[in-house]
Amino acid sequence: MDRNQGNCEETQSFRGSSENQRAGSSLKGRKGKRLWKKVKYQLVEYNSLPAYLKDNEYILGHYRSEWPLRQVLLSVFTIHNETLNVWTHLIGFFLFLCLTIYTAMKVPQVVDLPTLQHFPEVLRNADFQKLRTELIACLPSLPQMPDLHRLREELKTLLPSVDLSSFSNWNIVELLSNCLLERFPSNHTDACVLCSMKEDVANIIAPLMVRPITRWPFFAFLGGAMFCLSASSTCHLLSCHSKRLSYIMLRLDYAGIAALISTSFYPPVYYSFMCYPVFCSLYIGFITLLGLGTILASLLPVFQTPEYRSFRAALFFGMGVSGVAPILHKLILFWNQPEALHTTGYEVLMGAFYGIGALVYAMRVPERWMPGKFDIAGHSHQLFHILVVAGAYTHYRAGLIYLRWRDMQGC
């Protein structure tokens, strides 16, 4: 009896110790798992990276390496060596999204010529009668425009003594702005008053002379810019997840760069050569084929290796330099047009931004000079991103000039 009771107590003691061991083992397992996760999601040094993530040996630390997708997505709000690479182009994407919406809302509306019959009444009822006299004095210099003879007929009853046949090719709004400042009497030259009067006249007359040109080349450029910026930002955020995803993201990034360069040609080529359809088709077709060829070349596995960094930079730089031909051609055709010179200035500035960006990207400066000092902020790829956004915005400003030019003058 005592022996059986002793055996029973030993069995219970053994079971209790086994349960305690299992509980302890489970607790240790949970602690170990949390510790493993903590170690797993820590930032690592360059030498600890797998080969496919090694791209710039001058950035020594703060790398994410093969993190789970959830942690990779959340890392957009944490500090690592890709944080500014993500945000520089993410902010750029939203900038161009806003510019696209703004541009779409600012398309000028056509005002039918019959509304010109109300033009004398508008001037007569306006609150600047003195300006009306000066406007009449400027009317003989109105530009040659389609259907302008109808305007002449409307004005004959109001201005029988004015010779409306000797019109020059001046821009009507610029003419009024310049003429009014020169001819208005000195006792009415208050800057605020004149500015207000000129704006009123411009608002009255400019819509009557506008024929909105097609916007698709400009929106193609804006779409290419947004695709490039969003693809780049996504690539820098997700590429550390796995080798396969890195492969896909890098191809998307290269496709975005090629799309931005190709579509950047569309506004200057189309609006410069819209009256020369052969040249227009030739230039747009060439840059489109070059962009597609670059995208196909980027599909080769060797294209993304660090050894081909200079080749990638040279290829994209060459795509941009090919734009020199249509720009020079534009200057030859329109050397006497202020818009041609103004847009060329913007295009030279854009080329400078892109060229410096490609040079910084290829040379990996400044981190080459001080390895490890620019891991978080200031390294070459971040500078490259900023210069790309600056170049694209400069091109946007040039595009607005092209639109105003062709809206006013047509083909």
End-to-end CA distance of the chain: 116
SS percent in the chain: helix, strand, coil, step 5: 75, 0, 25
Tokens of 340: 């041609």
Tokens of 354: 């892109």
Residue 385 marked in a binding site: yes
Element spanning 231, H or E: helix 216-238
Tokens of 246: 């890195």
Residue 236 marked in a binding site: yes
* Backbone φ, ψ for residue 146 (5° rounding): -60, 140
Q: How far apart are CA 142 and CA 149, in angstroms?
A: 12
Cβ neighbours around 114 below 10 Å, total: 9
Cα separations (Å) of 293 from 262, 280, 282, 287?
11, 20, 16, 10
Cα separations (Å) of 54 from 102, 299, 301?
41, 19, 15
Q: How far apart are CA 404 and CA 125, in angstroms?
A: 29
Cβ neighbours around 53 below 10 Å, total: 17
Residue 89 marked in a binding site: no
Cβ atoms of residues 395 and 264 within 8 Å: yes
Known binding residues: 236, 381, 385
Known binding residues for Zn(2+): 236, 381, 385
